Structure 1
Amino acid sequence: MAEEQTAPLPPKMQVLGQYIRDMSFENILAQKGVEGEVQPDISVEVALDAKKRPIDNQYEITTKYTVGSKNKSGGEQLFLLELEYAGIFQVENVPDDQIHPFLMIECPRMLFPFVRRIVSDVTRDGGFPPLNLDTVDFLALYRAEIERRAAAEAAQAPTN
């Protein structure tokens, strides 16, 4: 009689909490003013961080967004929004070799709709039209970071 193989359990993720860790919004247009017509040019930078918590299978994921708007004609800064948004996740049934990509791709993907709403509300409340962020491709962001790290390690490696 052949032994029955048990199928691996599917990954399980639960959001235990989420919060704004830090946020800053500067309406530079209102403070300094801009000459001529205003045509905003929006830039968005995203950074990610993951930390293991003392409790088994719990992780804190922090997404850091820097959203700026400059005037296309003169390059003057119109506004600057810096947002650190974090989530606490319970993650189970993910193999050790896959936990890092899981934390850096799937967890930020779960937090993104809340970040989009905050950015929209803050830009609107700050005196600008609400800014709806385009969806962030966290898989591409993760791959780019892995490539950047590999290139940095290769540059530091001693050559014979």
Structure 2
Amino acid sequence: MADEGDVLTNLDNQPGANGADTQPTAGFINQYIKDLSVENPSAPASFQWKDAPKIDLQFNIGANPVNDEVNEVELKINATAECDAGQLYVIELVYAGLVGIRNLPEDQAHMFLYAEAPRILFPFARRVIAEASRDLGFQPLMIDPIDFNGLYVQRLQQKQQEDAAAGAAPAGNA
């Protein structure tokens, strides 16, 4: 019978024969709600309003180092619903995850933190927003999926264009 323990040992990312741990790894350690603010400022009058709400949805991604191998990735989502009569609700969520990264090239680590990690966190944050809007007494706000990888590539291209434009600008007096 084969020794199945080797599979589990390999997943534990044990050091190699020379004691060096050189295998590239990235993964989640934990995920959690870091901050959640839910407001229903016009209740109970807002439940009588008949016009369709306008939803303003904004999100931002941040990453903060915790130590050499762990980063906290934050997915910030702000959802505001308003109609002609006034504001229905405001939901502000910071959904975060602790991400462990070891032996990844810097460009791949950056992509994991700002594209892949938010993609993994998003369904959980989406559920929190949907439940919060429902608990406020409104229809659940189901946020459409977001292409974090596409946004990451778009932002990189935009930054490269900005850097190229800055590099083409004439230098100051020497």
**What TM-score range do you get, normalising by the shorter chain?**
0.7 to 0.9
Are residues 67 and 36 of structure 1, via their aligned partners in 2, closer, same or farther at CA, if it must alter by over 3 Å?
Answer: closer
Alignment partner of 2:56 out of 43, 46, 50: 43
Q: Which amino acid aligns with 1:27?
A: N
TM-aligned CA deviation for residue 26 of structure 1: 1.1
Corresponding residue of 2:27: 14
How far does residue 159 in structure 1 lie from its aligned partner after superposition? Answer: 4.2
Quick one: distance in 1 between partners of 2:92 and 2:51? 22
Q: Distance in 2 between matches of 1:20 and 1:91?
A: 21
Describe the shift of the 1:106–1:28 C-alpha distance in structure 2 as closer, same or farther (beyond 3 A). Answer: same
Q: How far is the alpha carbon of 1:149 from its aligned partner?
A: 4.8
Task: Count residues with an aligned counterpart.
Answer: 149
Identity value in percent: 35
C-alpha spacing 1:65/1:75, structure 2 compared with 1 (3 Å): farther
| Letter of the 1:63 counterpart | L
- TM-score, normalised with respect to structure 2: 0.71
Native 8 Å contact 1:49 1:61 kept in 2: yes
RMSD: 2.8
Structure 2's unaligned 5+ residue stretches are 1-21
Q: Is the 8 A contact 1:28 1:77 kept in 2?
A: yes
CA–CA distance in structure 1, aligned partners of residues 87 and 66 of structure 2: 38
Query: Which residue does 2:14 correspond to in 1?
Result: none
Q: Report matched runs for 1:20-99 at 5 Å.
A: 20-30=33-43, 33=46, 37-54=50-67, 56-71=68-83, 74=84, 76-99=86-109
Q: 1:43 to 1:94 in 2, by over 3 A?
A: same
What amino acid is aligned across from residue 79 of structure 2 in structure 1? V
Q: Is the 8 A contact 1:21 1:85 kept in 2?
A: yes
Q: Which amino acid aligns with 1:21?
A: K
Q: What TM-score do you get using the length of structure 1 for normalisation? A: 0.77
Structure 1 alignment gaps of length 5 or more: 1-7
Q: Which has the larger radius of gyration?
A: 2
Partners of 1:85 and 1:36 in 2: how far apart? 31
Shift of 1:76: 2.8
**Residue type at the aligned position of 2:71:** Y
Question: In the alignment, what sits opposite 2:112?
Answer: 102
1:14 Cα deviation from its structure 2 partner: 2.2
